[in-house]
Amino acid sequence: MNLQKEFTKGIVSDNPLFRLLLGMCPALAVTTSVNNGLGMGVAVTGVLLASNIVVSAMRKVIPSSVRIPAFIVIIATFVTITDMLMHAFTPALYTALGIFIPLIVVNCIILGRAESFASRNTMLPAIIDALGMGIGFTLALVMVSAVREVLGAGTFFGLQLLPENIPALIMILPPGGFIALGCILGLMNKFQRKTA
Amino acid sequence: MQEYFIIIISAVLVNNIVLSQFLGICPFLGVSKKISASLGMGGAVSFVLIIASFITWVLQTYLLTPLNITYLQTIAFILVIASLVQFVEMVIKKFSPPMYKALGIFLPLITTNCAVLGVAIINIQNEYSLGKVMVHSLSHAAGFTLALLLMSGIRERLEDADIPESMRGTPIALIVAALMSISFLGFSGLT
């Protein structure tokens, strides 16, 4: 097993958001500022890492007929822990992300990795896989939110970049999420075709 | 009466669950290529969403809150939804095999459809009474089906359009969704 390949596939060739089109809901909803996007990415990475470890450790104990409910309970447990931790330590981010923190539990990336990778591999590759996928997802979120924040609010991480009357408010409103993600996906297709 | 009316308008149009709250994007992009499939998906999600809202509300009001274990909300809700989906899947498989084939992989995926869990959590957050919960979830189900239907109607025609190669598929679907979302923004003056 090539561990380096397992790590990089989540970031580039199998990027969960841009290539596999998983986890679209948070990617569109919370990417109004880089800060929120980064926070969401870190939260998802944490849950993904923890659930991949537990699923991989218990893969011989869980009967295959009830594996999906079992995975969901494992994931929901870690989401609840994350929810409480964020409530206690990052209250501002907790309010900004709102309902999308409990909704990490239905993020297809996490269940997808548990089912297609962690339940079939030993713990080390599962950890590497979770880290790669998590970082890939976080980078993608940061990219989308950077585009939206710079164009929509004229700021980056709260830092004023553009004069106040230039930004196009639409980019941080709901339609902006669709526009930004659609254009990034289109550009990526174009870019990949050229290199191939 | 007026309160209920506001809930309906707000859930179907102003705060449309797909186009302005970003819940349920996966089926919105995945099953919206044919009108027939999107009708089936809309029906299945609506059914699960309404029953799930009812059960989760009862669970929250009579079990989690009195026992002071509201932190178990996420786990309890997702278990209810997962078993409901299993049930609906069995029913559709038995009574309508063509529909079962058309919905394919997305049927079990209703479990991980954020719309269902999302609406259940919003119901609790807004501290609705049972009547309002039912109206609220019914309107969100209608809003979801409406968005899915509009999208599939547009995409059926999009098949014949001359689109730059790199924009085909998901990218152009997202741009279409953006335009729909902009037009739904126009409703925000209603409330």
Whether A19 contacts chain B with CB within 8 A: no
Q: What is the DSSP letter of A169?
A: G
For residue A195, pLDDT over 70 is answered with: no
Confidence (pLDDT) at B8: 87
pLDDT tens digit sequence for A120-146: 888 888 898 899 899 999 999 999 898
A66 contacts: CB under 8 Å, gap ≥ 6: none
**Taking CB atoms and an 8 Å cutoff, what residues of chain A touch B112?**
106-108, 111
Asked if B185's CB is within 8 angstroms of A175's CB, the reply is yes
Whether B186 contacts chain A with CB within 8 A: no
Asked if B174's CB is within 8 angstroms of A178's CB, the reply is yes
Q: How confident is the model at residue A193 (pLDDT cuts 50, 70, 90)?
A: low
A153-184 b/e (C-beta count within 10 Å ≥ 16 → b): bbbbeeeeeeeeeebeebbbbbbbbbbbbbbb
Q: What is the SS3 assignment for A156?
A: strand
Asked if A189's CB is within 8 angstroms of B182's CB, the reply is no
Q: What is the DSSP letter of A144?
A: H
Confidence (pLDDT) at A175: 86
In this complex, which of A76, A173, A175 lies closest to B74 when CB atoms are compared? Answer: A76
Beta bridge partners of A159: A156
Q: How confident is the model at residue A82 (pLDDT cuts 50, 70, 90)?
A: very high
CA pair distance A88, A84, nearest whole angstrom: 6
Confidence (pLDDT) at A54: 92
CA pair distance A77, A55, nearest whole angstrom: 12
**Would you mind telling me the total number of residues written for chain B in this entry?**
191
Type and span of the H or E element at A100 = none
**Taking CB atoms and an 8 Å cutoff, what residues of chain B touch A80?**
71-72, 74-75
Considering the entire predicted model, what is its pTM?
A: 0.86
ipTM of this complex: 0.81
Position of tokens 């819940």? B23
Of B180, B133, B128, give the one whose Cα is nearest residue B13: B180
CA pair distance A177, A20, nearest whole angstrom: 18
CA pair distance B48, B108, nearest whole angstrom: 12
When pLDDT is averaged across residues A73-99 and rounded to a whole number, the result is 90
Q: How confident is the model at residue A85 (pLDDT cuts 50, 70, 90)?
A: very high
DSSP codes of every residue in B16-38: -TTTTT--SHHHHHHSTTSHHHH
**Taking CB atoms and an 8 Å cutoff, what residues of chain B touch A183?**
171, 175
In this complex, which of A25, A83, A179 lies closest to B25 when CB atoms are compared? Answer: A25
CA pair distance B146, A24, nearest whole angstrom: 20
Q: Which residues of chain B are under the pLDDT cut of 50? A: none
Asked if B75's CB is within 8 angstroms of A175's CB, the reply is no
Residue of A nearest to B172 (CA): A182
Query: Is the separation of the CB atoms in A47 and A111 below 8 Å?
Result: no
**Would you mind telling me the total number of residues written for chain A in this entry?**
196
Residue A126's CB: how many other CB atoms inside 10 A? 26
For residue A41, pLDDT over 70 is answered with: yes
Whether B82 contacts chain A with CB within 8 A: yes
Query: Could you give the dihedral angle defined by the CA atoms of residues A65, A69, A73 and A78, in that order, rounded to the nearest 10 degrees?
Result: 90
Q: How confident is the model at residue A49 (pLDDT cuts 50, 70, 90)?
A: very high
When pLDDT is averaged across residues A52-80 and rounded to a whole number, the result is 87
Please, how many CA atoms are within 13 Å of residue B144, restricted to the half-sphere of its CB? 37
